[in-house]
Amino acid sequence: MGNLRGLSVFIVLTLAVFTSARPKSGPNQKCKSGPVDLVFLIDSSRSVRPHEFETMRKFLIDILNTLDIGLDTTRVGVVQYSSQVRSEFSLKTHSKLENMVKAINEIVPLAQGTMTGLAIRYLMNEAFSPGQGDRPKVPNVAVIVTDGRPQDRVAEVAAEARERGIEIYAVGVARADMTSLRAMASPPFEDHVFLVERFDLIYQFGLQFQDKLCGIDLCLESDHGCEHLCESSPGSFTCHCLPGYRLNADGKTCSAIDLCAERKHDCQQICISSPGSFTCDCNQGYHLNDDKKTCSPIDLCAEGKHDCQQVCVYMGPGVFTCDCNEGYRLNVDEKTCAPIDLCAEGKHDCEQVCVSSGPGIFTCDCNEGYRLNVDEKTCSPIDLCAEEKHDCQQVCVYSGPGVFTCDCNKGYRLNGDKKTCTPIDLCAEEKDDCQQACVYMGPGVFSCDCNEGYRLNGDEKTCSPIDLCAEGKHGCEQVCVYMGPGVFTCDCNEGYRLNVDEKTCSPIDLCAEGKHGCEQVCVYSGPGIFTCDCNEGYRLNGDKKTCSPIDLCAEGKHDCDHVCVNMGPGIFTCDCKKGYRLNEDEKSCSAIDLCAEGKHDCEQICISTPGVFTCDCNKGFKLNRDKRTCTNMDMCNTVKHGCDYQCVNTPGSYHCICPEGQLLQDDGKTCGTCKSANIDLVLLIDGSKSVRPQNFELVKKFVNQVVDSLDVSAHGTRVGLVQYSSRVRTEFPLNMYHTAEDIKAAVMKVDYMEKGTMTGLALKHMLEYSFSEAEGARPASRNIPRIGLVFTDGRSQDDISEYAKKAKEAGITMYAVGVGKAVEDELREIASDPVEKHFYYTTDFSAINTIADNLKLNVCPAESQGEVEVKDPCACENLVEFQQATMNSLDQFTQKHILSK
């Protein structure tokens, strides 16, 4: 056991060596430093020149190529900063090296200030956060690369980052400040601070940083090739094999020693090999003897090593089958036995009942009321009545095999013993249906009779009283009242009374006799009948006797518009609510409108409600405290009038005026020497690869903002669009669309070209084709201004000088708009004079909308021959324009000649 335990420890230690060995980092090898969360913070301020930034980009990619990239190994994030901070990708964004390299190649420098402290705070709070992919209990490493002195404080925020466990490497280039680098980096500074004179030496830090992540041990760091064990020595290593293995001739790989294959064993039947050892075993049905080498056959039945329930049958070495005793059969498990029940299995010929007598044995029997026949299989029913095996007094009734019941002859009843019978006296037992008298006629027989004054009916059971009234055997004038069988008295109909002779009748008048309860009027309705009624204006109550006065107002039985006034029983008049008066129909009401009737003291506006009014003022006036009079408001000082030159108050409003020599523009606020002119405008937009699809969408929106500022029509301003990259493509010429809506819709459908930036070729195309009459440009003799606008984000890959000059010499007014990496010298060479009014630049695509707002393309030529719209002087809008112009002229005259005195 001690040897085995030692071998186990050796194997565990050996496996630990296997799992910890890793190759040394090299051009095609990965440094397996264990899980690390690594973030690069790179300076992209204006001082970092484009070629220097490209060197830094290559530096990042070279370091990534040495790392074991993966979500479970080394995670990498990249953040660039200048005056602002932008995350290029987080720790969780990419798990593959090629995706990181692609993202780094697509980084566009911010080209602004150097806010290093702001960037370190973003690194601490955002980049190393769980939401951005930071893992718990995994080292956080940050590499800061900068070329200048920070423009904000870094010492405090860097110390806070180090306290949170972030290990910081500070790499300075050229103009970087060593004091600032030491304030940022983790101690010791000799391992974490690196300063080089120029960007092309930055690779030296990459080598040093790689060595920090990956120590040097030929067994651990090199591709030693040992299959099992590597033993390191200074500058070298040797390979070894585990026990039971021998080193092959190559000095690195190992082969297992197979004693069985080499026949170095003494097993009788089977040899089982393990590296450098073996054990013996036996064929199936044999067991290994105590010498652990030879084998003996196994008789499982004789040894009792079987699970048969009844009989074990030996079939050979280690093999047996199970069987059962007579009357039993083997179950599906081929081990246990079940008794054979021929009755349950239906394997018998009994007619009625099968009785199991034991395994495989049965006898037949019969159901109750049957007896077994001589064949001991079939059964016959037993008839006890026919065999006279009963004790009934009168009648035996067969009820089924072996069953009978007793019954009696007609007129007799079966006694409680269910055998003997007794004669029935239905009269004595009151089991007759005679209404009055029952007469016994013999066993079970009777007849019916009636009492005096009754006679037997036809059903010979019931009796009917003799009714002298019904039979008309009386002398009553009106009503005969039956008093009993053969007896009556006379009576009168309602409203009549019986005379003294007790046969004739006289009518009764209750109103005349005063025998009524009417409160007001009794109405005779016939003998003994009356109804009550009421005087006019009253209604009979529910008791049909008393009366109540009628209130038509309360009952809503009136046609008054507002108010009903009760004047007595059944009488009313109409009235109106306050603020209303009754009309001539004396039913409906009309509101009293004090404003319409002039019964108010409002200075300007009277607002009426029934019988009441309030005052208000016209627009531009406000109501005074007396709630009646109004004061004019100073609109110029109370609203944002937006007048370019001067705001002039008018009653309740205002208007704008311009200085002498200028005209008020169409917006009614700004001033100019002329109104917008008709132009031919061609836009050249850069569709090169550096623009990127999302920014190209912003360029299209910029174009549509420019279009929104123009008066587009077939006879007004015309717009054409050209896209260029390595080639030039006309998206639509000047004569294709005549409304701003159509142009804007076409712009949004333009597809992004990508590839190079041939700005000179685009200028040549514009000059030779876009401003040709074939593509919609109007003849130069018409003096319609031609304007070209170039939008680009980078340096042109061809010469622009020749065609920029030719375009301006051809009379085309050129505007140049640049974004990001656009070269200022090229933009100024394209733009017309004065350059400051024709040249625009911004660092970010998101800011180009402000350029569109500030861009003024309209010009006012002295002799514009564009088509002029002839306006109808009587049209309403033209009269208003004329009046507005006249008021502007009068105001200018007043300001100049009257108010100035």
Domain, as residue range, for 210? 18-221
Task: Give the mean pLDDT of 497-517.
Answer: 91
Instruction: Tokens 């056959």: give the residue.
Output: 297
What integer is the mean pLDDT of 336-347? 91
Tell me what the mean pLDDT of segment 317-340 comes to. Answer: 92
Residue with tokens 């990956």: 214
Residue 296 and residue 289 in contact, taking contact as beta carbons nearer than 8 Å: yes
pLDDT band at 640; cut points 50, 70, 90: confident
Q: CB-based contacts of 485: which residues, under 8 Å, 6+ apart?
A: 452, 453, 454, 465, 466, 467
Average pLDDT, integer, range 684-689: 94
Band (17; pLDDT cuts 50, 70, 90): very low
Does position 329 have pLDDT exceeding 80, yes or no? yes
pLDDT in tens, 469-502: 988 888 999 999 998 898 899 999 999 999 999 9
Residue 454 lies in a domain: no
Q: Does residue 30 belong to any structural domain of this protein?
A: yes
In the chain, the number of structural domains is: 2
Residue 435 lies in a domain: no
pLDDT at 415 over 70: yes
Average pLDDT for residues 349-359, to the nearest whole number? 91
Alpha carbon distance 774, 735 (integer Å): 9
Residue that finishes a domain, picked among 200, 221, 242: 221
Q: Are 271 and 260 spatial neighbours (Cβ–Cβ below 8 Å)?
A: yes
DSSP 131: G
What number is the average pLDDT over the span 9-23? 33
Residue 236 has pLDDT above 60, yes or no: no
Q: Are 46 and 86 in contact (CB under 8 A)?
A: no
Instruction: Give the highest mean pLDDT range of 197-211, 476-490, 836-850.
Output: 476-490
Alpha helices in 131-229 (DSSP H): 155-163, 178-184, 189-192, 203-213, 218-221
Residue 26 has pLDDT above 90, yes or no: no
How many CB atoms are closer than 10 A to CB 315? 12
Long-range CB contacts (< 8 A, 24+ apart) of 610-615? 610/577, 610/578, 610/579, 610/580, 611/578, 611/579, 611/580, 612/579
DSSP notation for 498-518:
E-TTSS-EEE--TTTTT----
Structure tokens at 729: 């493509």
Q: Examine the pLDDT at 720 and tell me if it is beyond 50.
A: yes
pLDDT tens digits, residue range 80-122?
Answer: 999 999 999 999 999 999 999 999 999 999 989 999 999 999 9
Cα 813–818–819 angle (5° rounding)? 160
In the prediction, which pLDDT does 642 show? 83
Identify the pLDDT of residue 641: 82
Among 194, 221, 248, the domain-final residue is 221
Instruction: Decide: pTM greater than 0.95.
Output: no
Most confidently predicted of 41-50, 234-243, 591-600, 757-766: 757-766
Q: Which residue has the higher pLDDT, 339 or 225?
A: 339
How far is C-alpha 279 from the geometric centre of its chain's CA atoms?
Answer: 67
Is 27 part of any domain?
Answer: yes
Inside any domain, residue 467: no
Last residue of a domain, one of 166, 198, 221: 221
671 vs 228, higher pLDDT: 228
Query: Residues of the chain with pLDDT > 70: what percent?
Result: 85
34 within some domain = yes
Q: Is the pLDDT of residue 895 over 90?
A: no
CATH assignment at residue 110: 3.40.50.410
**355 in a structural domain:** no
List Cα–Cα distances, 499 to 459, 475, 477, 495, 741, in angstroms.
Answer: 43, 14, 10, 13, 115
Give the separation between CA 670 and CA 663, rounded to whole angstroms. 8
Question: What CA–CA distances, in Å, run from 93 to 31, 47, 80, 139, 568?
Answer: 21, 29, 16, 18, 95
- Flag whether 94 is in a domain: yes
**What percent of the chain is modeled with pLDDT above 90?**
54
Average pLDDT, the chain: 85
Half-sphere exposure of 234 (CA within 13 A, CB side): 0
